[in-house]
Amino acid sequence: PPERTPAMLRIGSERIDIPAGMKNYTVSDSYELPVDVEVQAVQPHAHYRAREIKGVATLPDGSTRWLIYINDWDFRWQHVYRYVTPLQLPKGTTLSMRYTFDNSAGNVRNPHQPPRHVYWGQQSTDEMGDLWIQMLPRSDGDLETLNAAIRPKQTAEEIVGYEMMIRADPAKVSLRNDVAVMYSEVGRHDRAAAHFEAGLALQPASAAGRYNFGAAVLAGGKGGAAIEPGERAVQIPHACPRVCHT
């Protein structure tokens, strides 16, 4: 078995909203390490409008070390970059990213000419801005601490991204189910119930949808309101209600 297991951190923004013609749009994000780590690799991710990619580690003493710096980004450079010598970073180090985008006609890599208003999205013609960081903690205990701290941060950012995709495609039930599960993970049962209910309006014959809506209402402390969707779920023929994970 492996002696140590790495963790993956993603810092970045899913709030990307770039007006047409804007040349210097920036997003940034940061994360403070709760344990000592070795940074073994980084993977920058952005699409055609990104121009400059910066990743920096700021140590507790104020000194800085580059994680990665690409001053003329190309879409084809979405690779894993491994360090010859892993970076030794102590607890309290802040890992940060700052990406600059050019959504003007002057960007020859812009897929839309004339430029269009661009949002965060998973299609190549949308835009993204992430920096994945592979880290190796000193022990299994430190790995558990790190993963437990990373998960809420990344889930909160994923919720933002899914809400943006739902704004673009409000009739896609699978997106609503996915984001509802994420809201449940962070204790936002009211928002989970709202998305499950919206999915039910689109697919009223879904037993799983009714069960999930009732479960979210129940988790939010409204037990009486959960009875009706639960009863209706079990009345749907040939249905096996389940919590939706897609």
- The per-residue pLDDT for 223 is 54
Distance of alpha carbon 67 from alpha carbon 72, whole angstroms: 16
What are the percentages of helix, strand and coil residues in the chain, rounded to 5? 35, 30, 35
Residue type, 243: V
Residue type, 242: R
Distance of alpha carbon 54 from alpha carbon 225, whole angstroms: 49
189: alpha, beta or left, given left = phi > 0 and alpha = psi -120 to 50? alpha
- The per-residue pLDDT for 220 is 85
> How confident is the chain (246 residues) per 10-residue block, as mean pLDDT?
91 95 97 98 97 98 98 93 97 98 96 95 93 96 96 93 90 94 93 94 90 89 56 51 49
- The per-residue pLDDT for 21 is 97
- The per-residue pLDDT for 237 is 56
- The per-residue pLDDT for 226 is 45
Distance of alpha carbon 9 from alpha carbon 26, whole angstroms: 20
Give the tokens for residue 146: 């790190």
Predicted model pTM: 0.82
Q: Helix 189-202 crosses helix 173-185 at what angle (to 10 degrees)?
A: 160
Cβ atoms of residues 210 and 241 within 8 Å: yes
- The per-residue pLDDT for 229 is 52
Give the tokens for residue 42: 């980084």
Q: Look-up: residue for tokens 């190796």? A: 136
